Structure 1
């Protein structure tokens, strides 16, 4: 999938999200240098939320999510769905410290699956449609918004 310049910085951030999503799911192979126990994965995920996900969500919500709803009703609906997933992921991750050792693996798996589904939806559906529906001028505006945000 070829990305327009305006979306490349956001797409690149998705790589670490996909790696984390896979790490959290049942049956994940061990990754060198990555946590292996449920407790270590919980701690990693809490840090990942603060260091990666929250800034990434803010980037999306202050750039692509502000432009997309004005383009089409379909993009507006997708934007609402993606924002709901952002809030759901935040809520699930913030609740991790309260999980028991028995239900922690399942909670991690749930987060991993949702995170992977979310990123795949953005990359395969939302960004594809956005690239098709935005005019060249709108894509340039988006690029400036992303660059300013990343400053």
Structure 2
């Protein structure tokens, strides 16, 4: 009998970031669905550009400003997360080979989110004081609204 993984207990201050990660994973699924349905890459790119500018870029900025600063500049997990943010930003900004970029975004964004959820956030929870976590929770209360009209994934 296989052992079920226990859900990760996330501090309330980090739960909104985890909810946003859920929407990032949905973006990956939408890209996969777009490819499966043979949707034109440019049509999917319009959505991913909007999603990046509206949700993902501010999410990256908030993580780096409010969470990553709790870790030392030499921390390997922090360095990896920042490096992956820059890589993903370049992929979203790529306009030459859109189909390839979308494919890489789908793959790398999912891996990045899993890394943050399984490793980085746990480390942040370990080192942060209760006051630091409360400050993160107060600054980060927004809910993601996905009101894109061209739902190519349906």
Q: TM-score normalised by the shorter chain: which range applies?
A: 0.7 to 0.9
The match for 1:15 among 22, 27, 42 is: 22
Where in structure 2 are there 5+ consecutive unaligned residues?
A: 1-7, 143-154
- 1:1-151 to 2 correspondences below 5 Å: 1-25=8-32, 36-69=39-72, 76-95=75-94, 97-99=95-97, 104-131=98-125, 133-134=126-127, 138-150=129-141
Coordinate RMSD, CA, aligned: 2.4
2:67 and 2:139 map into 1 onto residues whose CA distance is 13
- Equivalent pairs counted in the alignment come to 135
Contiguous gaps of at least 5 residues in structure 1? none
Separation (CA, whole Å) in 1 of partners of 2:112 and 2:91: 14
State the Cα distance separating 1:149 from its structure 2 match: 5.0
Aligned counterparts of 2:35 and 2:78: Cα–Cα separation in 1: 30
Shift of 1:28: 5.8
Maintained 8 Å contact 1:6/1:140: no
- The 2-side partners of 1:37 and 1:55 are apart by 27
For residues 131 and 32 of structure 2, the distance between their equivalents in structure 1, rounded to whole angstroms, comes to 37
Instruction: Give the 4+ runs in structure 1 shifted more than 3 A.
Output: 25-30
SS at match of 2:52: helix
CA distance in 2, matches of 1:19, 1:149: 20
Compute the TM-score of the two structures, normalised by the length of structure 1. 0.78
